[in-house]
Amino acid sequence: VSLIAFTTIAFLTIMEFMVYRDTWMKYEYEVDKDFTSKLRINIDITVAMRCQYVGADVLDLAETMVASADGLIYEPVPFELTPQQKELQRMLQLIQSRLQEEHSLQDVIFKSAFKSASTALPPREDNSLQSPDACRIHGHLYVNKVAGNFHITVGKAIPHPRGHAHLAALVSHESYNFSHRIDHLSFGELIPGIINPLDGTEKIASDHNQMFQYFITVVPTKLHTYKISAETHQFSVTERERVINHAAGSHGVSGIFMKYDISSLMVTVTEEHMPFWQFLVRLCGIIGGIFSTTGILHGFGRFVAEIIFCRFRLGSYRSTSVPLPDGHTSNHLPLITDNNTH
């Protein structure tokens, strides 16, 4: 019993110490009252069209004018990835599939922020044989915290008093190709190591006139861990794609449209740790509980053992019958005398 007691105490003490070292994420919800600040959008998208044929801008619902897209850089690049970049893209897609099944993995990503490298693609090795046939649009924008529409379509954007327009008349329909790859898309402060829902997404267009739509709901998030403290934004996304065919009743404009809306709730994610006094109380409970339980088991075992062994001991001293001269018998034990000893 002592061996079992001390082994159990040692095992549970080690397990309790591991729980004490671990942390967990606490989620709190409140109304977001900050509606005057700007929202930052971080973009890194590659479209399989030349840069002179495409234009990207944001249409804010709070204004009739187009939000300025001066913070975006148009870089001619090959659409085909290098082997190293393909490996990172496959890893991101695998993580995205696991995140959809195991939601608790998001807590692990929050706690390991700044430990891992950035989710951006590694730099491309110089290859003079491959000509740039795509356009990488990357950078960041600052928009109002209201619903809006970030879109990439044919032609450069031209603002005018009644809205905006794109110069698409000079581009042939045969050159339309909105196959794209989203290397990174996030809202708020850029935090390395945080994987967003659209990172690593790749879509291949099956028709020249095709529309890709992403409906995004952005949730303001305050992240407080033992390593970082930042204000970022989580978001969920719903995807839809269709071919534009006016004869069949499918109207619209070919391109990539990301329609985002800001949630009125704000989430505060805090990393918490077990207090030291609580660890001591739980440790004392483990030791005292095991000693009490094993003491009860030991007493019960001793009681059973005494009953069994004492019964056998009484059986060895059973009384013997002694005949008397008058024909009666005596069940008393005979006295030990000197004659009996001899």
Model pLDDT for residues 240-298, shown as the tens digit of each residue: 988 887 777 777 788 899 999 988 888 888 888 888 888 889 888 888 888 888 888 88
User: Could you give the CA distance from residue 268 to residue 285 in angstroms, rounded to a whole number?
Assistant: 33
Instruction: Assess whether 5 and 146 both reside in one domain.
Output: no
Comparing 98-112, 132-146, 278-292, the range with the smallest average pLDDT is 98-112
Instruction: Assess whether 153 and 164 both reside in one domain.
Output: yes
Instruction: Assess whether 253 and 289 both reside in one domain.
Output: no
User: Could you give the CA distance from residue 69 to residue 282 in angstroms, rounded to a whole number?
Assistant: 57
Confidence tier at 342 by pLDDT (50, 70, 90): very low
In whole angstroms, how far apart are CA 212 and each of 174, 186, 217?
A: 18, 18, 17
Residue 254 belongs to a domain: yes
Q: Mean pLDDT over residues 1-16, rounded?
A: 86
Strands (E), 32-105: 38-47, 54-60, 66-67, 72-77
Instruction: Assess whether 198 and 287 both reside in one domain.
Output: no
In whole angstroms, how far apart are CA 287 and each of 10, 162, 290?
A: 9, 76, 5
Give the residue, 105 or 98, on which the prediction is more confident: 98
pLDDT of residue 217: 92
pLDDT of residue 334: 52
pLDDT of residue 103: 65
Give the residue, 109 or 207, on which the prediction is more confident: 207
Domain count, the chain: 2
Confidence tier at 70 by pLDDT (50, 70, 90): low
Closest CA to 255 of 57, 76, 119: 57
Write down which residue in 217, 250, 273 finishes a domain. Answer: 273
3-state DSSP assignment of residue 2: helix
Residue 181 belongs to a domain: yes
Confidence tier at 341 by pLDDT (50, 70, 90): very low
Residue 149 · residue 259 · CB < 8 Å: yes
Residue 114 · residue 228 · CB < 8 Å: yes
Residue 323 belongs to a domain: no
Examine the pLDDT at 321 and tell me if it is beyond 70: no
Instruction: Assess whether 172 and 285 both reside in one domain.
Output: no
Instruction: Assess whether 296 and 202 both reside in one domain.
Output: no
Q: Mean pLDDT over residues 95-121, rounded?
A: 66
The boundaries of the domain holding residue 280 are 1-11+275-311
Residue 269 · residue 26 · CB < 8 Å: yes
Residue 213 belongs to a domain: yes
Instruction: Assess whether 36 and 167 both reside in one domain.
Output: yes
Examine the pLDDT at 206 and tell me if it is beyond 90: no
Instruction: Assess whether 227 and 283 both reside in one domain.
Output: no
Residue 339 belongs to a domain: no
Comparing 33-42, 231-240, 243-252, the range with the smallest average pLDDT is 243-252
Instruction: Assess whether 144 and 195 both reside in one domain.
Output: yes
Examine the pLDDT at 215 and tell me if it is beyond 90: yes
Q: Mean pLDDT over residues 169-177, rounded?
A: 76
DSSP percent split of the chain into helix, strand, coil, nearest 5: 30, 35, 35
pLDDT above 90 covers what percent of the chain? 6
Confidence tier at 45 by pLDDT (50, 70, 90): very high
User: Could you give the CA distance from residue 198 to residue 201 in angstroms, rounded to a whole number?
Assistant: 6
pLDDT of residue 85: 81
